[in-house]
Amino acid sequence: MKHILLIISIIFTTIDSGYCQNNNVRIDIQLIGYDGFSPLEYSISDGNYYRNYSMVQPDSLGRIVIQKKINSTKFFKFYFENANEERIDYRCRLVLQPNNNYSVICKSHKTDDYKIPYSPDIYSWKMQKGDQPTFYKMDMGQIYYNLFDNATQGHIYRYEWDLLQPDSLLEILARKTNKQVQMYTDLLKKGEIDHEFFEIAKLNVEYFNAYRLASTIESTWKFPRQFGIKDSVIKNKLINVYQHLFKLYPIKGKKLENLFLAERYIDVYLEYLECFKDGKFSIPKKGSDPRKRIEEIKPVISEEVYKNYKMGNIISKVGTLELQSSKLAKVFLDRYPDMKQSYNGNFLENDLVPRSEAFDSLAARKLSDEVIILDEKQPVTSFQQMKDSIGNYLVLIDFWGTWCGPCRYQFKYNKKLKSFLKKHNIKMVYIAKEYTHDRKYWKEMISAYDLSGYHFLSNKDFQKDFEKFPVQFNTIPTYMIVDSNGNHIEKIGLTPADGKDFYAEIKEKLNL
């Protein structure tokens, strides 16, 4: 009853002007615990790619009314972070249909509560003559739709599947999918959703579950130290399951624009193509970019899906300052000028590209005197060789790669890092894990980011020698500290982006 009264309060205390016949969809939102001043970002798009964004200012109590005229089904999404608290957000997805109206009561959700299912309370209603609302009903279709993915990614999926029992995986997938589809079938029979909504929900259920299983299987070769499987019989069975998945859930003939995780599903599909590019399974080489294979499936997906996937990929490259990526962006925007009118396209053209071009000009500079290349004349093949080259200093190591976006992201905090190292007389060593061993590109990255310190490219001999230390790691960037004698090496669990906590951990481990 409290919820119903709150919805009525939202409806009749509007921010926009009153409901009119020209606006045949209305969305009332209540943010519980709103910080009182931050704007909310939302998108209404023809597909589930959320290309265009708008900003709206809630009132002081977190109430919003959005009214739009639509002639066909659209996809609505909003995401909001509460500025008063860290890692607290609000999110909601809706399948908007003409002449339907929605009320959303959205509680905050901790972004690290990945295992906790979350969906806002969603009600729907239609308007009668005289702009009077009909009876409000809990919209279970929309609520179930918001439970997809729960914003979780990565290792969380691995809790769902027992990869050591490969013979049962497809059966479990079918059972899980059928159970979820049945919820929508029941709503369809009750008349609470229509056939269009049912088909959209069914597509999302099927491809979401397939994506989760595919990404879990991929982790066995992407992260072999953490999730690798040694049993060759099981490994071969998993490969067969993996291949069969994409026959059951193909790209061709599917309305991927209705799939809210279209980009992620395309990612795993392109990874699958990379694995079977010669007809037989082989693990993709490290540093390969399966996303380049998007051109292979371009003929069987809609142009809108292709353009949005392509632009997302380019934004990732340009946004993480991959060298020369601005040229790719310009070619793309010239080929598809309509994308410039979108929120992301405008941001790409007017913000990211100029920044990327300026970064490219920095890469052309000569290396500063504060950059010391340790393997210019001969490779560094052991940890002791590296330490002898530096001398008896405290050392902070950054294991990174030019191809690694998260690694490059950390460099934006270099000014504070340099100041800290200088104050405590700590030497910086950047050890790059490269797959192409393009020394020119590597040096350009060093120059562009002004990475003062010691540098060398990791190689098999160095990696084998480093395995004698009990500080192995599976991902980069990874930071480690070394005492002045080189006898004690310890991993830092944080990164420069974590600010004072990162430096506090270094000081604690080095007794500073």
pLDDT digits 0-9 by tens, 474-483: 788 999 999 8
181 and 97, same domain (yes or no): no
Amino acid 12: pLDDT: 38
Percent of the chain with pLDDT over 90: 67
- Residue 115 binned pLDDT confidence (cut-offs 50, 70, 90): low
328 pLDDT above the threshold of 60:
yes
Within-domain flag for 146: no
Integer Cα distance of 381 and 388 in angstroms: 12
CA 106 – CA 122 distance, rounded (Å): 8
What mean pLDDT, rounded, does the chain reach? 88
Residue 130 has what DSSP assignment? G
One domain, residues 252 and 323: no
Nearest of 145, 118, 142 to residue 260 by alpha carbon: 145
At 467 the pLDDT is 87
Do residues 340 and 389 both lie within one domain? no
- Containing structural domain, residue 13: 1-140
**Same domain, yes or no: 8 and 90:** yes
Once rounded to an integer, what is the mean pLDDT over residues 336-346?
90
Q: For residue 289, what pLDDT band results from cuts at 50, 70 and 90?
A: confident
Same domain, 255 and 342: no
State whether 468 and 411 are in the same domain.
Answer: yes
**Domain stop point among 140, 162, 194:** 140
Same domain, 312 and 376: no
Among the candidates 140, 172, 207, a domain finishes at 140
Verify that 489 and 471 share a domain, yes or no. Answer: yes
What is the distance of C-alpha 7 from the center of its chain? Answer: 33
Question: Does the pLDDT of residue 32 top 50, yes or no?
Answer: yes
Quick one: pLDDT band at residue 53, thresholds 50, 70, 90?
Answer: confident
Kindly state whether residue 296 falls inside one of the protein's structural domains: no
Residue 152 predicted with pLDDT over 60? no
Average pLDDT of the residues in 481-508: 90
User: Does the residue 394 lie in any domain?
Assistant: yes
Is residue 151 pLDDT above 90, yes or no? Answer: no
| Res. 128: pLDDT tops 60 | no
Q: What is the pLDDT averaged over residues 190-209?
A: 95
pLDDT band at 468 (very low <50, low <70, confident <90, very high): confident
Sorted by sequence, the CB contacts under 8 Å of residue 121 that are 6+ apart come out as 3, 104, 105, 106, 138, 143
CB count within 10 Å of CB 226 equals 12
Residues 379 and 344: beta-carbon distance below 8 Å: no
* 1 and 69 in a common domain: yes
Q: How far apart are CA 260 and CA 11, in angstroms?
A: 28
The CA distance from 33 to 40, in Å, is 14
CB atoms within 10 A of CB 380: 22
Is pLDDT of 191 > 90? yes
The answer on 405 and 345 residing in a single domain is no
Is residue 360 in a domain?
yes
Residue 314 included in any domain: yes
Q: Which of 347, 364, 381 is the last residue of a domain?
A: 364
Report residue 16's pLDDT band, with 50, 70 and 90 as the boundaries: very low
The confidence score (pLDDT) of residue 17 equals 37
For residue 161, is it within any domain? yes
The answer for residues whose C-beta is within 8 angstroms of residue 476's C-beta and 6 or more apart is: 399, 400, 401, 404, 406, 407, 433
**CATH code at position 99:** 2.60.40
In a domain, 70, yes or no: yes
288's CB contacts (< 8 A; 6+ apart) are: 274, 435
Provide CB contacts within 8 A for 174, sequence distance 6+. Answer: none
**Domain count across the chain:** 4
